Chain A
Amino acid sequence: MAAHLSSGRVNLTALREAGRRELREFLDKCAGSKAIVWDEYLTGPFGLIAQYSLLKEHEVEKMFTLKPGRLPQADVKNVIFFVRPRLELMDIIADNVLREDRGRSPQRDFHILFVPRRSLLCEQWLKEQGVLGSFIHREQYSLDLIPFDGDLLSMEAESAFKECYLESDQTSLYHAAKGLMTLQALYGTIPQIFGKGECARHVANMMIRMKREFPGSQNSIFPVFDTLLLLDRNVDLLTPLATQLTYEGLIDEIYGIQNTYVKLPPEKFAPKKQGEGGKDLPTEPKKLQLNSAEELYAEIRDKNFNAVGSVLSKKAKIISAAFEERHHAKTVGEIKQFVSQLPHMQAARSSLANHTSIAELIKDITTSEDFFDNLTVEQEFMSGIDTDKVNNYIEDCIAQKHPLIKILRLVCLQSVCNSGLKQKVLDYYKREILQTYGYEHLLTLNNLEKAGLLKSQTSGRNNYPTIRKTLRLWMDDVNEQNPNDISYVYSGYAPLSVRLAQLLARPGWRSIEEVLKMLPGPHFEERQQVPTGLQKKRQHGENRVTLVFFLGGVTYAEIAALRFLSQMEDGGTEYVIATTKLINGTSWIKSLMEKLEPAPF
C-alpha cells in the first residue's frame, strides 16, 4: 500500500510505521469493541497513515463523522473521538455525550484522541460543559508530519500561514519543530541548519532548545539528511500567486488536490463496459489518488503541461504495440508470457486512460481566452512590465465580476512585483473591489495588507527588479519540453524560494548577501553536533540530501522545481520537501479572507 514512500532517497515508510505503531498502542488502551467518531477534516490525513483494515484489527467496528445530536446506536464498548483541538468541536462532543442514553446497558465508555496535540483549553471547555469526567482516556496523537510521497511531507495545518503572519500565533511552528524532532529521532540528527525568515529562525531556536532539554533525544542513528533548509513563506510571497503550469500544479489549480486525492467531473470518465454506457452516466465526481505509486503519473506530474501531450501519445503507442504482441505469440510459452504481463499492461492502460482524460479537461481550460489573458498579465508583472499602474485586464475582470479570489491574486501579484503599489493605484483597486463585491471585504483587504501581500510603496524604492535580475527569476528562453532550468514550471518564472535553495547548494548564500538583505527576516546557519562515529564519509559522487521545510505552505510547482534539481545530473543534491500545508494561490488567499456569514437568503 505504501510502496511509493520508500521509492525516494529517504525511506519515509519508517515515519508512517511510527505513526501506525502509536495509533495501535492507543487503540489497544481502550479494550473491547470500539466506534470512532471522526472530525471529518482528519479522515484525509489519517488515510495516509492507516486504512480501515488496521483499525478493524484493533476492534474498531463502527465509524461516524462528528456532528451534533445523539450518537448513533452502535453496540460497542468504547466510543472514541478523533478530533483537532478546536473549541467548536468540543461543543459538538459535549452535545453528543450529554445526549447519551444513561439508561442503556451496558454503558459505553468515552475517550478523546487529540490530533496533533492535547489542548488544555479544550479540556477546560469540556469541563465547563460538565462532561470532562466522562472521558476515560484523553490523549494526543502527534501526527505532525504526514508522509505524502517518497519525498514529500506535510503537516496539513490549514491556517498555519494566517496564524504565523497575521495573528503572530506560533503554535504551528512549535508543531513544526516537534515534527522535525520526530524526524531526527528516526533519521538521525541533521548536522547543518540553514534558514531565512523570522519563522525559520524561530523553528531553529526551538529545535536547538528541545534538543538541549531532552538529552534522551540524542540518538545513535546515522544521519540521513545532510542539511535542513527552513524557509518562511513570506520570504517569497510571489510564487504561490502565479498560476502553476506543471501538470500536477494545474490539476491542483483547477480541481484542488486534497490529501493526494482529486475529484474530477465524471463526464470524461465513461463507464467501463461500453455496452452499459449511456444509460446512466455517473453523476458523482470521479475520485483518483495521485502519487508516485502510479508509474505514469510519476513521470508526467512535474512536467510543464505543454510537454505532457506528447508523452501520453507516445505511451499510447507503446501500449497498443504491447497488446498487438498477442498476435505474434505462437507457442504456449509465448502465450503464457503474454498473459503473465497482462495485469501490468492492464494497469498501465487504465492509468493512461485516466490521464488522457485529465489532460483533455485541463486543456479545455488552458486553451481558453481568459486563461491566456490572465497568464499574460501574470507574466508581464513577473517580468516587471507595467507594474506601477492600474491594469486594464484587472479592471475588466472586476467589471465582469470574475471571482474575487482571482482578482485578489492578480492585485497582490502586482503589488509584490512592484514592492508595493503606488498609493493612488492601491486606492483605486480597493475602491473598485469594495464597490463591486461588497464593502465588508474591507476586512479581507486589511488582512492581505497585514500579511504584506498588498501594500503601498512607502519607501519609494522598488527592490523587485534587483531581486529578479540577481536571482534570475525571469528567463526569456525557457524550454518547456526539455527544461534546463527550474523556470519551466511557470513557463518563464523561476520560483524565488527554489532559487534560494539552488543557490544555497551552489555556490552558497555568500554570493547573494545583498539580495538576502532585501528579503524579509534574518538568514542564518546553525550546526548540530553529530558524534564522530556517526559522521558521514561521503562516497565519491554521492549526492547530499537536503530537507527543505516551507513554513506557511508550498505549491506543487515549487515541489516540481526541487525534484527537477534533484534529478539534474551534476546537481549533487537531492531534496526532500516538508511543509505546513500544500497550497495554491486560491487556497492560500482563501485562508486569509475574512469568513463572511452567508447571505441571509
Chain B
Amino acid sequence: MSRARADEEEYWHSSKFRAFTFDDEEDELSQLKESKRAVNSLRDIVDDDDDDDLERVSWSGEPVGSISWSIKETASSSTGSLDGRDSGLQRGSSSCAALPKQASSYSLSSLFKGRNKLPSFQSLSDALSDTGVKNYTPELRRPKAEYKDYSNDWSPRDTVRRMQRGKVCSLERFRSLQDKLVLLDEAVAGHDGNVITALTHLCISLSPVEILFRELEVRQVALCHLIHFLKEAGEQKFLLDLLRFLDRTEEVALSQYREHLNIQDVEKRREFLKGCIGLPFSAEDTSHIQDHYTLLERQIIIEANDRHLESSGQSEIFRKYPRKASILNMPLVTTLFYSCFYHYTEAEGTFSSPSNLKKTFKIPDKQYVLTALAARAKLRAWDDVDALFTTKNWLGYTKKKAPIGFHRVVEILQRNNAPVQVLQEYVRLVEDVETRLNLATKYKCHDVVIETYRDLKDRIQLMAYKCKVERGSADEEKINSILNNVVRNAH
C-alpha cells in the first residue's frame, strides 16, 4: 500500500498540503486594483507627448513593421481590392490545417500500384538534376563549378551526402532495387529523415511489393519513416497492405477504423463500422467498436423517425422545442440526453427510449441519473425529477435516494433555474448539515435554513437570520414562533 492510514489522516488534518491559495486574498486583490489606479492616474501627465520614443505598435500590439503586420499591409494595398477586403477572413481559412484533404489530388496511389504505371518515376533523379528551367536569365545561371555536380560517378555514400545537403545529384545509376537499398542504408546511417523518406519512396515505385516489404522489414528506421509518410499522405490501402504484411494486426484494425471519419454518408459509415467489428482489436476495444456501430444504427433510426415527427408538426414536444441539430454521430451521453428530452415516457421496447439505451449500452446508474435529471430539469418537468429519486420499499413506504448525492442534484436544478419550492425539497435532503446550510443560504431556501437552525437549537444564528428574510413574511413569523417556543420551553 502506498501510505499508512495514519499518514493519510495526518495529511488531511495537518493541512500542510498547500494548494494554490492566496493568503490574504482581499488584500492582494485590492493591492492590484490600487496599483492599477495609481498607474492609470499617471496617464494624464504622460500622454500629452507623442510616443516617439517607444516602438510604434498598432492596436493589435504588433509592432509596425513586423512580418505578419506587413503581410496585412502590403496585401491590402495591392491592386486587387478583393485581396485587401477579405484578407482577414481568408487568413483563417488559408492555414493548411483548414484545407480539406480530399480537395487535393494526391496521385500517389497510382505510383504504388506497380512500375508499369509510372514510367516517369525514375525521375526523382530528374527532379534533382532538373535544368530545363524556363526563364533562365543569364545572371542566374549556375556558376561553372556547379556543373561538375552532374558527374555520374558519385558513390552511394557521396550521393546520399549530397542529397542531405540539398545538392543536385543524379540517381540514374542506381537502377536495381539492390542499388537503391544500398543508397537507403546509407541514408538511414545518415539519419536524415528527408532523404530516408525520399529513397524509400523511390524503392517503392520500382519493385514488387512483397520483395520490398521483406527488405523493409529488416530496415526498421526506413520502415517507420515510410509508415509515417503513408499516414500523412493518406495512402490508406498501401499502408494497410504493409501493416498486414508486418503482422501488426492491432494497428491494421485502428488504421482501418480511422477511415470511418472520412465517410460523410451515415448509411455508408454505419456499414463501414459494421465491417470494423470483426477486426483484430483488443478485447476491450472490440466492445467499444461494437457500441459505436450500435449507437450509430440507433441514431439513424431515431433521426429518421424524429425528423418525420418534427416536420409533420404532430408532436407537441418537437413543436415547443425544435431540435437544434441532428442526433447523428453524437456521443452516447448526448444521445441519452436527447432521448430523455424527447422520448422520456416511451416503453423500454422502443429504440429511442432512455431505458433501452441504458440497458443496451450498460450505462451506469450515476451517469443515467445525471443525464436524465439535466434533461427533465431543462423541461421543468419536476414530477419526473421527483420520480427519479423516489424508491419504494416492500412495505410501500417511499424513500428518497440519489446515487449522485443530493448536493449535485441541487446544483443541476439550480443551473436550470428551478423555483425555490422545488429546490428546497432537495436541499432538505442533503445529509451533511454544513453543506445543507450553505446551499440553503446560497439559494435562499429560508424554510430549510430555519428548520436546520431549529434542529441545531442555534438561537443566535436563527436570530441573525431574521434580517435575511422579508419583513412580515411567513418566514419571519416562523422564526419568531420558534424563538418564542424555545423561550416558553425554557421556562
* Chain A interface residues (CB < 8 Å from chain B): 29, 31, 38-41, 43-44, 46-47, 50-53, 55, 61-68, 72-75, 85-89, 91-92, 107, 109, 117-121, 123-124, 127-128, 132-137, 139-140, 163, 167-174, 177, 202, 205-206, 209, 213, 245, 261, 263, 272-274, 282, 284-289, 305-306, 309-310, 312-313, 315-317, 319-320, 323, 326, 342-343, 345-347, 349-350, 352-353, 356-357, 359-360, 363, 366-367, 371-372, 375-376, 379, 383-385, 387-388, 399, 401, 427, 430-432, 434-440, 442-443, 446, 462, 465, 476-478, 491-492, 594, 596-597, 599-601
The answer to whether B139 and A286 touch across the interface, beta carbons within 8 angstroms, is: no
Contact A87 B233 (CB under 8 A): yes
B140: chain A residues at CB < 8 Å are 29, 31, 136-137
Q: Out of B3, B90, B105, B136, which one reaches A136, CB within 8 Å?
A: B136
Query: Are A109 and B135 within 8 A (Cβ)?
Result: yes
- How far apart are the CA atoms of A107 and B29 in the complex, in Å? 63
Q: Give the residues in chain A near B229, CB-CB below 8 Å.
A: 121
Query: Chain B's nearest CB lies how many Å from the CB of A186?
Result: 19
Indicate which residue in A66, A261, A491 contacts B18 across the interface (CB closer than 8 Å): A491
A60 to chain B, nearest CB (A): 9
Selected interface stretch from B124-132, B344-352, B379-387: B124-132
Look across to chain B and name the residue whose beta carbon is closest to the beta carbon of A438.
Answer: B331
- B31 near A319 (CB under 8 angstroms)? no
> B133–A133 contact, CB under 8 A?
yes
Residues of A within 8 A of B42 (CB): 319-320, 323, 349
| In the bound complex, CA of A319 to CA of B161 (Å) | 60
List A contacts of B65 (CB < 8 A): 51-53
A contact residues around B80 at 8 Å (CB): 72-73
With A121-B197, A313-B32: A52-B135 Cβ-Cβ less than 8 Å: no
Which A residues are in CB contact (< 8 Å) with B330?
438
**Nearest opposing residue in chain A for B264, CB measure:** A600
Contact for B104 among A91, A109, A367, CB less than 8 A: A91
Point out the residue from A62, A140, A442, A492 that lies within 8 Å of B257, measured CB to CB.
A442
- In the complex, chain B residues whose CB is within 8 Å of the CB of A117: 166, 194
In the bound assembly, the distance between CA atoms of A160 and B129 in angstroms comes to: 31
Any A CB within 8 A of the CB of B150: no
The answer on a CB contact under 8 Å between B198 and A287 is no
CA distance A68 to B331 in the complex (A): 34
Secondary structure at the B interface, as helix, strand, loop or mixed, is helix
* Cβ A65 vs Cβ B367 within 8 A: no
Contacts of A128 on B, CB cut-off 8 Å?
107, 120
The answer to whether B71 and A43 touch across the interface, beta carbons within 8 angstroms, is yes
Within 8 A of A (CB), among B220-264: 220-221, 224-225, 227-229, 231-233, 254, 257-258, 260-262, 264
A282 with B71: CB separation less than 8 A: no
Q: Does B477 contact A (CB under 8 A)?
A: no
* Shortest CB distance A370–B (Å): 12
What residues on B are CB-neighbors of A476 within 8 Å? 16-18
The answer to whether B67 and A286 touch across the interface, beta carbons within 8 angstroms, is: no
CB within 8 Å for A139 and B32 given contacts A107-B135, A169-B228, A443-B254: no
Residue ID in chain A nearest B2 by CB atoms:
A384
Chain A nearest CB: distance from B84 CB in Å?
A: 9
Please state if A124 and B198 are interface contacts (CB–CB under 8 Å): yes
Q: Are A86 and B197 in contact (CB under 8 A)?
A: no
| Chain-A contact segment, one of B289-297, B312-320, B437-445, B458-466 | B289-297
Query: Which B residues are in CB contact (< 8 Å) with A367?
Result: 22, 25
Chain B residues within 8 Å of A309, by CB: 28, 31-32
A326 to B45, CA, bound (A): 10
- Whether B284 and A171, one on each chain, are in contact in the complex, defined by CB atoms closer than 8 angstroms, is no
**A434 engages B136 (CB within 8 Å):** no
Residues B191 and A174 in contact, CB atoms below 8 Å apart: yes
Is A439 touching B40 in the complex (CB atoms < 8 A)? no
18 contacts between A and B (CB under 8 A): A64-B75, A65-B91, A72-B75, A74-B78, A88-B96, A120-B124, A123-B127, A168-B228, A171-B192, A174-B193, A261-B61, A261-B62, A272-B43, A274-B43, A285-B60, A439-B292, A476-B16, A599-B329
Asked whether any CB of chain A lies closer than 8 Å to the CB of B63, the reply is yes
Q: How far is the CA of A367 from the CA of B54 in the complex (A)?
A: 35
Closest chain A residue to B84, Cβ basis? A72
Quick one: CB contact mask for B320-338 with A, threshold 8 Å, 1 for yes? Answer: 0000011011111100000
Tell me if A170 and B221 are in contact (CB < 8 A). Answer: yes
A383 engages B197 (CB within 8 Å): no
- Given A63-B71, A74-B78, A442-B257, are A306 and B133 also a contact pair (CB < 8 Å)? no
Q: Which residues of chain A have C-beta atoms less than 8 A from B38's C-beta?
A: 316-317, 319-320
The answer to whether B49 touches A284, judged by C-beta atoms less than 8 angstroms apart, is no
Chain A residues with CB under 8 Å of B329's CB are 438, 599-600
Given known contacts A52-B67, A261-B62, A375-B19, what 18 new A-B pairs fall within 8 Å (CB)?
A: A62-B75, A62-B78, A64-B75, A64-B78, A65-B87, A68-B99, A133-B134, A205-B191, A305-B20, A342-B46, A353-B40, A372-B20, A372-B21, A432-B367, A435-B363, A442-B285, A465-B2, A491-B20
Q: Which residue of A lies closest to B262 (CB)?
A: A597
Interface set, chain B 349-403, CB cutoff 8 A to A: 361, 363, 366-367, 370
B132 x A133 contact (CB < 8 A) = yes
* Cβ-defined contact, A40 with B39, below 8 A: no
B280 to chain A, nearest CB (A): 14
B201 touching A124 by the CB < 8 A rule?
yes
Residues on B with C-beta less than 8 A from A323 are 42, 45
Q: Which residues of A contact B135 (CB under 8 A)?
A: 107, 109, 136
Residues of chain B within 8 A (CB-CB) of A52 are: 65-67, 69-70
Structural contact, B191 and A202, CB atoms closer than 8 A: yes
A282 to B291: give the CA distance in the assembly, Å: 48
Instruction: Please determine whether A352 and B35 come into contact, CB atoms closer than 8 angstroms.
Output: yes
Picked from B61, B120, B257, the residue with its CB within 8 Å of the CB of A288 is: B61
Q: B59 at interface (Cβ–Cβ under 8 A)?
A: yes
Instruction: Tell whether, in the assembled complex, residue B262 and residue A120 are in contact, meaning their CB atoms are under 8 Å apart.
Output: no
Given contacts A47-B67, A367-B25, A442-B288, contact A64 B83 (CB under 8 A): yes
Q: Is the pair B32, A434 in contact by a Cβ cutoff of 8 Å?
A: no
In the complex, the answer to whether B228 meets A353 with C-beta atoms within 8 Å is no
Q: Which B55-100 residues have C-beta < 8 A from chain A?
A: 59-63, 65-71, 74-75, 78-80, 83, 87, 90-91, 93-96, 99
Residues on the A chain within 8 Å of B130, using CB: 127, 132-133
Distance A288 CA – B257 CA, assembled complex (angstroms): 43
- Are B193 and A170 in contact (CB-based, < 8 A)? yes
In contact, A347 and B133 (Cβ under 8 angstroms): no
Whether B53 pairs with A343 at a CB distance below 8 angstroms is: yes
Q: How far is the CB of B369 from chain A (nearest CB, A)?
A: 10
A599 neighbours in B (Cβ, 8 Å) = 329
* Cα–Cα, bound, A446→B255 (Å): 11
B163 at the interface (CB under 8 A from A): yes
CB distance from A481 to the nearest CB of B (A): 10
Could you tell me if B61 and A286 are in contact, using CB atoms closer than 8 angstroms? yes
With A and B bound together, what is the CA distance between A401 and B331 in angstroms?
11
| Contact across chains for A284 and B60 when beta carbons are under 8 A apart | yes
Bound Cα distance A282, B258 (Å): 43
The CA-CA distance from A462 to B8 in the complex, in Å, is 19
User: A170 CA to B21 CA in the complex, in Å?
Assistant: 43
In the complex the two chains form, is B61's CB within 8 Å of A443's CB?
Answer: no
In the complex, chain A residues whose CB is within 8 Å of the CB of B90: 65, 67
